[in-house]
Structure 1
Amino acid sequence: MFEQWLGKQLRSPRGILSKWVASYMETGNHDINEWTIQLLDIQPYDRILEIGTGGGAALSRIAEKLESGRACGIDSSKSMIKQSLRRTERLREEGKAEIKYGRAENIPFADRSFHKVFSVHTVYFWTDARQALKEIYRVLQIDGTLNLSVHLKEQIKLSKKTKDFTLYTEEQIRDLLEKNRFREINVHMYKNYCCITAVK
């Protein structure tokens, strides 16, 4: 029962405990977020999309690095949207950040809007990974990059703690990326984290 509830909360936090879930995710994801930000090789002019902003911690860090660029984020949890909007208020006023309600399978931005798209620990919760990657491909500029930071199926069994998600092997993610026309697929490892990068 608890495992099913936790799985649903991690997918889309809601209700009176959503702030606790957000804090839990932010603390647990700090290291992998920082590592992923480094891998993005952020340039001052970059337009970057985060899928699954949570409370907005990583998005805020990225927006602070930008000059003429913009950090945009989507999340499927209205509770997380509210928290990230509060956190990024100044950055949004400066035109450096934008937050929208949305899912990976239906990204609410125009074609070729971004130089870079990244996501940390959300691929498990996508209801249709092929459609999500199709959407990411659509919103990326030519030669734009995708960074997917995850725990691979071989690395950790999240299923011992939660339900309502899908674990992937490196080969499965590679196959999905290739079938969606991504190229230059590379795997980066840090501690027990994995970031799979690809180019449009």
Structure 2
Amino acid sequence: MKLIDQFIGRQIRKPSGLPGRLLGHLMANEHMALVDWMLEPLEISESDRVLDVGCGGGMTLRKLQNLVPEGFVAGLDYAPAMVAQARGRNKSAIAAGKMDVVQGDVAALPFDSASFDIVVGVETLYFWPDPLAGLMEIRRVLKPGGRVAQVMDISKPSAEAAVPENVAERMGFRVYAGEELTALLTEAGFVETRFTAIPERAKGWLCAYGTAPALS
């Protein structure tokens, strides 16, 4: 069981090979209700520039591009297999100059400072080796007043049986409570931090939001 947990964790964190490609397609479709729930409070404008960190197979990118027909969408993923899948899924938008998808690390984002209005992340933060560094990079690439949202479907507490801490550790991720996420956002320099949760969905839907501070 330990080896299985480790294998599944590695594939979720950085999908590769045939299992990773299949997992990418599965996750791309499985998370759409979660993504809609995350996006609703953001009130995205048609001209916004939006970044999806940990974009996976690119289904959220497609949804975002439909929301910002006059704007731009960028995707970043740690796994080359997911970058390829996201590019294939969104090749028309990329060809039209409306989107770009790159391989990279959230702790060293390959984007200019103050270049995005919104940054989102779906089911990714709990795999980051250094969440604070990643959130500080997100704040750097956000315009003053820009917004961040990080959503996940495993959290504590949950109405269902929570993922045991030892299993989470073997799979290479950390389970968060809402208060922990908002504390991280605040430490990273965000203001107006808050979270919303639906503990009875999956193993605890959780989304944390923050705003990049205005220039003083």
TM-score (norm 1): 0.93
The residue that corresponds to 1:33 in the other structure is: 35
When structure 1 is superposed on structure 2, of 151-160 and 2-11 the one drifting more is 151-160
Segments of 4+ in structure 1 off by > 3 A? 158-162
Shift of 1:65: 2.2
Give the match for residue 168 of structure 1.
176
- Which digits, 9 at most, give the CA deviation of each residue in 1:86-120, with x for residues without a partner? 11110112222110111211111010010000101
Are the equivalent residues in 1 in contact too, given 2:49–2:72 (CA < 8 A)? yes
**How far is the alpha carbon of 1:39 from its aligned partner?**
2.9
One-letter code of the match for 1:194?
Answer: L
State how far apart, in whole Å, the 1-side matches of 2:7 and 2:13 are: 10
Where 2:207 maps in the other structure, the secondary structure is: strand
CA shift for structure 1 position 33: 1.4
Residue 54 of structure 1: aligned partner: 56
| Structure 1: gaps (5+ residues) | none
In the TM superposition, what are the counterparts of 1:23-102 in structure 2 within 5 Å? 23-102=25-104
The amino acid of 1:195's aligned partner reads C
CA RMSD after TM alignment: 1.6
- The correspondence for 2:23, drawn from 21, 24, 42, is 21
Could you tell me the percent identity over the aligned residues? 27
Identify the match of residue 186 of structure 1 among 194, 202, 208. Answer: 194
What amino acid is aligned across from residue 64 of structure 1 in structure 2? N
For the 8 Å contact 1:117–1:140, the answer to whether it is kept is: yes
Residue 136 of structure 1 pairs with residue 138 of structure 2 = yes
CA–CA distance in 1 between the matches of 2:116 and 2:74?
A: 9
Per-residue Cα deviation, 1:121-144 (whole angstroms, up to 9, x for no partner): 101110101110110010000000
Alignment check: 8 A CA contact 2:197 2:205 kept: yes
Note the residue ranges of structure 2 that are not aligned, 5 or more in a row.
Answer: none
CA distance in 1 between counterparts of 2:77 and 2:163 reads 24
8 A Cα contact 2:182 2:209, kept in partner: no
* Number of residue pairs aligned between Structure 1 and Structure 2: 200
Which sits farther off after the overlay, 64-73 or 187-196? 187-196
The one-letter amino acid paired with 1:111 is: S
